[in-house]
């Protein structure tokens, strides 16, 4: 029988008959879309925490695409189907594998920066921006950062997930 979970450099994989989901824990910024939207599949309190049979494939894809970082990404097991995947699927592995991209891919560095204020959570910044903090200024291209809005993080200015425990409302 085929294995349902496995490993890749930087994380684990979970698969069902149709798709494989990649989990890269170091990229997680605690935006919490996965388990807020689909606890049946993504349950941090369970081992393994991903159950690929607990929801229809379309729904799993939809929730993986919500992940604002590359902590979660997905691909079809049928490699030919991966080439036709469009940009609406932000977390398809294609966008991290140039060989699967067609010609004329858009230059992301010209797009407006995305600033997402999450419900009772951090602010996520994605795109090409500069950041000034404590006398340091850095330019970040194609970066994603998650900044604390509750004032309680131990990893300031970044979010460390504390807002869940402190009951931040904002």
Partner 1 sequence: MAGTTKPVLMVNNQVMEDNKEKDPQAKLELTDSGPMKIKGKFILNDYKREKVEMPEEVTLCMCGKSLRMPYCDDSHEK
CB of 138 to partner 1, least distance (A): 5
Rounded Cα–Cα distance for residues 70 and 85 (Å): 17
Q: What is the dihedral of CA 147, 166, 30, 149, to 10 degrees?
A: -20
When binding is defined by CB under 8 A, the residue of 32, 92, 118, 161 that contacts partner 1 is: 118
When binding is defined by CB under 8 A, the residue of 9, 17, 26, 103 that contacts partner 1 is: 26
Rounded Cα–Cα distance for residues 51 and 39 (Å): 10
When binding is defined by CB under 8 A, the residue of 151, 154, 164, 165 that contacts partner 1 is: 151
111 Cβ neighbours under 8 A, 6+ residues apart: 127, 128
When binding is defined by CB under 8 A, the residue of 58, 102, 136, 154 that contacts partner 1 is: 136
Contacts with partner 1 by CB under 8 A lie at 26-29, 109-120, 123, 125, 127-136, 138-141, 143-145, 147-152, 155-158, 168, 170
């Amino acid at each position: 029988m085929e294995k349902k979970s496995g490993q890749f450099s930087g994380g684990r994989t979970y698969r069902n008959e149709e798709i494989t989901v990649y989990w890269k824990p170091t990229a997680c910024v605690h935006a919490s879309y996965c388990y807020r939207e689909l606890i049946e599949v993504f349950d941090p309190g369970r081992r393994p925490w991903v159950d690929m049979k607990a929801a229809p494939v379309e729904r799993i894809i939809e929730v993986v695409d919500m992940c604002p970082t590359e902590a979660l990404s997905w691909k079809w097991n049928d490699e030919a189907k991966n080439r036709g995947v469009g940009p609406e699927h932000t977390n398809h592995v294609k966008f991290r594998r140039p060989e699967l991209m067609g010609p004329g891919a858009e230059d992301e560095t010209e797009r407006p920066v995305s600033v997402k204020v999450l419900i009772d959570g951090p602010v996520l910044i994605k795109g090409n921006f500069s950041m000034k903090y404590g006398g340091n200024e850095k330019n970040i291209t194609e970066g994603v950062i998650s900044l604390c809005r509750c004032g309680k993080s131990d990893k300031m200015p970044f979010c460390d997930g504390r807002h869940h425990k402190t009951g931040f409302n904002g």
